[in-house]
Amino acid sequence: MHPVLNDLIALLGLERIEDNIFRGASRDIGSPQVFGGQVLGQALSAAQHTVDDRVAHSLHAYFLRRGDVEAPIIYEVDRARDGGSFSNRRVVAIQHGRPILNLAASFQSPEDGLEHQDAMPDVPAPAGLKDLTRLAADVLDTIPVKLRRFMTDQRPFEFRPVEQASLDEPRRRAPLQHVWVRAVDRLPDGPALHRNLLAYVSDFELLATSTLPHAVPFTRGNVMLASLDHALWFHRRFRMDEWLLYSMESPNASGARGYARGQFHAQDGTLVASTTQEGLIRVVDPSKAGRRSDPRTQV
C-alpha cells in the first residue's frame, strides 16, 4: 500500500488505553492546527471501537479548540445507549487537559427500508482533470510556506476539482464546487474504515465554498478558516478507493461565519453520504495573518 495512505490508516486506528479510552497521534499537513478531518475521523474511529456489528449512519461534532500537532489526543468514549437496532456514543477529544472536540455518533444494524435519493450532478468525469497539487504548481513561489505544504505534499487522496479556478487570482463565482476524490491506493475491506476515511476527507474544501462569491485569494496568507461544527450522514455503502464526487454549496455567509453543505456520489450516481458544516471565516490584515490564537475565543 502507498506509505502515505498506510500512515493515515494507522493514524485513524488509534491506541486503546482502556476499554473506552484511546490515544491518537497527529500529522502536520500544512494547516495552521491539527486538521479537523483528522480529529473527526479519529473520534468516529474511537466510537466504532466500542460498537459491534453496527455501522455509523450519522455523526455531529463541535470543534472547541485548536489541536496541537505536537501532542497526542486522548479520546474518551461514553457508551450512551445500546438498543435493539441502534447504538449511540459520545466522544470527547482531549489535549493538555482540555476538550478540543465533542462528537456524538449513532450506529445501526443493517436494515432494508424505503429508498430514494437526489440525482448526481451532471459534471465531467475525473479522467482528464488535473489533481489539486498540479494546479498549485504554477503559483508555488507566491504561496506562503504552510499553504504551499498543504497544497503540494504527498496526500493519501487524489483531489480533482471540476471547476479548476486560479489560486492567486480567483474570480467571483457562485458558492458551488465539485471535486472528485479517491484514495491513492487499494484499501482493505470493511465499512468502518471507509466511513472513518470519508469523515477525514469531508473536511477538505467544504468551508472554503463559502468564500467563492467573494474571490478571496488564499495565497496571501491572510484568510482565517476554522471549523466550528460538522455533521455527516452515511446513506449507503461505498469505497474510498473508488472515485466519489464531492458536491459542495454554501447557501449563506454572515456574522464572520460560513455555512456549507455537501453530498458524495459514487461514479454510478449512487448517493452515499451527506454533510454540513459551519465555520469561522475572517479576512485579516496581512501583517497579523501569522498570529495563532484559539478560534473559539474569537467568536
Q: Which residues are catalytic?
A: 203, 227, 277
Q: Which cell numbers in the block locate residue 178?
A: 465539485
Beta bridge partners of 263: 247, 274
Separation of alpha carbons 245 and 126, rounded Å: 9
What letter represents residue 72's amino acid? P
Beta bridge partners of 282: 224
Give yes or no for a contact between 264 and 239, defined as CB atoms under 8 angstroms apart.
no
Give yes or no for a contact between 186 and 194, defined as CB atoms under 8 angstroms apart.
no
φ and ψ of 39, to 5 deg: -65, -40
For 65, 215, 240, 282, the CA distances from 298, given in Å and listed in that order, are 11, 23, 35, 10
Separation of alpha carbons 140 and 135, rounded Å: 10
**Angle of helix 36-48 versus helix 191-201 axis, rounded to 10:** 160
φ and ψ of 181, to 5 deg: -135, 140
Q: Residues with Cβ < 8 Å from 145, sequence gap 6 or more?
A: none
